[in-house]
Amino acid sequence: MSEKNREGKRTARERMQEQRAAEEASSRRKKKLIVGGAVLAVIAAAVVTGVVVQNERSKPETPTAAPAGTIGDKNLVIPVGAGNAPAVLTVYEDPRCPACGIFEREFSSTIDQLEDAGKVYTNYHIVSFIDRAVPGKGSRTGANALACAQDAGHFRDFHDVLYRNQPDETNDAFGNKAVLLNLAKQVNGLDTPGFRACVNDNKYGGWVSSVQQDFDKSSYKSTPTVLLNGQPVYPKNGNDEITPENLVKWVDAANQGKQLGTAGSNGQTPAPTSAASEANNPSPNAG
């Protein structure tokens, strides 16, 4: 049989097979394109939906309800002391942060005295990021309760009570509203139906989230962050360790030659006369 003859005898069956294979290949390609398109469409739709939905959910960055007397362009800051005091002490604190508890139990009476003497105007940023790292919601419910106390005019007293009774970081006692309401009874005049409703309804939840988002965008990464006239002083101011005595010294130096602000405790319990720090152990019955 010659080559030519064999060529000529390529049967119809072989040609049909080739054609079918080509068709199958083309249909496989088409299927692949459709599947690939569908996959990319699903991914794109999910991402777009996600961005839109989460954007909606993370609102409002400027909260609709802020506690009375808060300051700053978005009313995210709780001020304590006389507004005309010459020095500003800025404090970023999380209700669950153990280092904040240690700081407060050592410094709160000193800071209260500086406020009452018209020497400092303290600006509190009550952040709530421990909840992200340690399971629980005590940072947020605690911050909301502090906002409620601010609304009622008892922020400083309740703030001091909370930190004196701070549970261990892993114990989410502040996530339990009953614990917060119980602690509020230690502050004269705070335990009112309005305050209880504010805590139970998480009235300032949006505000709390806004304060945290503002902290997220700041350059500060941990709590407590303490600034005296914008200058970090915790844990050290330059080479000097922060102590109650040093803090007073630094404030007095900064206020040198300036008119002090209005003295008085602005409706809070007046500061103790001695600067003795609180017993530095959280109350065991907070939980």
d(CA 18, CA 27): 14
Tokens of 134: 């340690």
d(CA 219, CA 228): 16
**Nearest residue to 129 (alpha-carbon basis) of 142, 146, 118, 119:** 142
Q: Is 16 in the site for another protein (CB under 8 A)?
A: no
Q: Which 21-60 residues touch another protein, going by CB under 8 A?
A: 21, 24-25, 31, 35-36, 38-40, 42-43, 45-51, 53-55, 57-58
- Which lies closer to another protein via its Cβ, residue 68 or residue 133? 133
Q: How far is the CB of 63 from another protein (least distance, A)?
A: 13
Strands in 40-141 per DSSP E: 78-80, 87-93, 120-126
Q: What is the x/- site pattern for another protein, positions 98-137, by CB under 8 A?
A: -------------------------------x--xx----
Q: How far is the CB of 73 from another protein (least distance, A)?
A: 18
Q: Are 71 and 79 in contact (CB under 8 A)?
A: yes
Tokens of 46: 């999910």
Looking only at the bridges linking them, the beta strands covering 225-228 and 236-237 are: unpaired
Q: How far is the CB of 54 from another protein (least distance, A)?
A: 4
Q: How far is the CB of 205 from another protein (least distance, A)?
A: 12
Q: What is the x/- site pattern for another protein, positions 200-239, by CB under 8 A?
A: ---------x--xx--xx---xx-----------------
Tokens of 242: 């922060």
Q: How far is the CB of 263 from another protein (least distance, A)?
A: 39
Tokens of 168: 């261990």
- Which lies closer to another protein via its Cβ, residue 218 or residue 262? 218
